[in-house]
Structure 1
C-alpha cells in the first residue's frame, strides 16, 4: 500500500474585507472575532463584527438573519454568545457568507504557513512508488492556487514546476493538473517520482543522472 504524505496549509489570520469606510479614507476592515446577537421574540439575527483598520469604525457582516432560535443548537448558540474564535474564523473565511453580504475578501491579506515533508533526491530514489501521493489539509479555503502550494512543498522554481506540468507529471484528484485551480481541503496530488527526480537534477552532474537512470 502506497504512503500518502501530508501538505498542511495553516492560515495565520482571517482575510480583510475590501470595503470603504464611511468615517475615514480606509478601504479595509478586519475581523474582530466577535459577534453581535439580536433576539426578537422567536427570531434571532447574528452578525460578525468587523472594524476599520484605521479608525476602528464598525461594520457588521450578517451571518444569520431572522432565523428561528430553535434552528440553532444550544452548543453553537453558546459559541456565538461567547465569541468563540473557531466559529468566528469559520464565518470570516466563508465565501458564501461573504458573497451574500455583497462584500469582497482580500485573500492576499491572509498570512499562512505550509507544513510538508522535505524529501532529498536520495529519499526519492529509495522510494518504490511510481507516483508519490500528497494530500492537502487545511481548515479554510482562501483562494490560493494549488500551483503555489505545490511549488512550495516540492521546493521547485517556477521554471522547474512548469517542466513538471509540461511533462504531464502532476495530477490533482486523478485529473491533469490545472494551473489556475484553487486548492480545497482533501485534494490529492500525485507526482511522477522519476520525472520529479530528473527535474531536481537538471543542472547537476551527469554522474548523478547516470546513478538515477541505472537504479
Structure 2
C-alpha cells in the first residue's frame, strides 16, 4: 500500500547549448546554434560526418565533427542512414551532448529555460513523505536548490535548513547535493514535520499551485 507521495519530474532544456566561436564573417565572437542538419562526405571508402552550426547573426557556418575518416564497413548502416536523413532523434542527441560540443568548440552557452513534466507515480492520503525522482533525457546545468525552490515554492535558505536537519535527503548522497547540477535518476525525499508545509509542498510537487 502506498503511504507516500511519489512524483517524477522530467526536465528538458528548451533549446540545445550553443557553441561560442569567432565568426569569420562577423569578425567577432558569436554564438553558433545547430541548424539541425548533418553532412556526410565520402573520401574513397572512408566517411567524414559533421553537424552544421550557424552564426546567430550572419548565418556563417561551423562544421562540428561527429567522426572523421571512418571506414564505411565499420559503421552501422542505421547510423549512416540517420546521418543522411538528418534524423531528428539522432540530431537531438548530438545537440544536447554538452561535453561533446565543449570538446569541439571549447566554449559553450547553455540554455537556462527548461520544460518540466510531472507524473504522479503514487499518492497517499496522509503523504507522510514526498519523494521526487528526476528524469533527464539530456544533461542540464541547473542547480538542485534552484529547481526545488522554483517548483516547490520553498526558499533556498529554507531548503538548506531542511537539508541540514535531515528532513530533505538526496540520493546519491552528497554533503553539497543542493548546490550540484541535477542528474538523471536523482531521488529527493522530503520528510517535512510541519503538516501545513508538507501539504503545500505536496501540492506544488504535483503542480497544484499558481505561479
Pair in the same fold by TM > 0.5: yes
1:148 aligns to 2:146 (yes or no): yes
The structure 1 segments of at least 4 consecutive aligned residues displaced by more than 3 Å after TM superposition are 1-4, 195-201
Q: Secondary structure at the match of 2:22?
A: coil
Aligned partners of 2:146 and 2:156 also within 8 Å: no
Length, aligned pairs only:
194
Q: Counterpart in 1 of 2:89?
A: 86
Unaligned runs of 5+ in 1: 202-215
Q: TM-score, normalised by structure 1?
A: 0.78
What's the C-alpha RMSD, in Å, of the aligned pairs?
2.7
> Does the 8 Å contact 2:14/2:114 carry over to 1?
yes
Contact 1:13 1:111 in 2 (8 A): yes
Q: What are the ranges of 5 or more consecutive residues in structure 2 without an aligned counterpart? A: 201-211
Aligned equivalents of 1:124 and 1:16: distance in 2?
A: 43
Provide the rounded CA distance (Å) in 1 between the counterparts of 2:71 and 2:172.
43
Residue 47 of structure 1 deviates from its aligned partner by: 0.7
Q: What is the aligned partner in structure 2 of residue 64 from structure 1?
A: 67
Residue equivalent to 1:127: 127
Q: In structure 2, how many angstroms separate the alpha carbons of the residues matched to 1:149 and 1:20?
A: 33
Counterpart Cα distance in 2 of 1:70 and 1:164:
57
**C-alpha deviation, 1:102, in angstroms:** 4.1
**SS state at 2:23 partner:** coil
In the alignment, the residues of structure 1 paired with residue 66 and residue 98 of structure 2 have an alpha-carbon distance, to the nearest angstrom, of: 12
Pair 57,186 (structure 1): closer, same or farther in 2 beyond 3 Å:
same
Q: How does 1:154-173 map to 2 (within 5 A)?
A: 154-173=152-171
Cα distance, 1:153 vs structure 2: 2.8
Q: CA deviation at 1:91?
A: 1.0
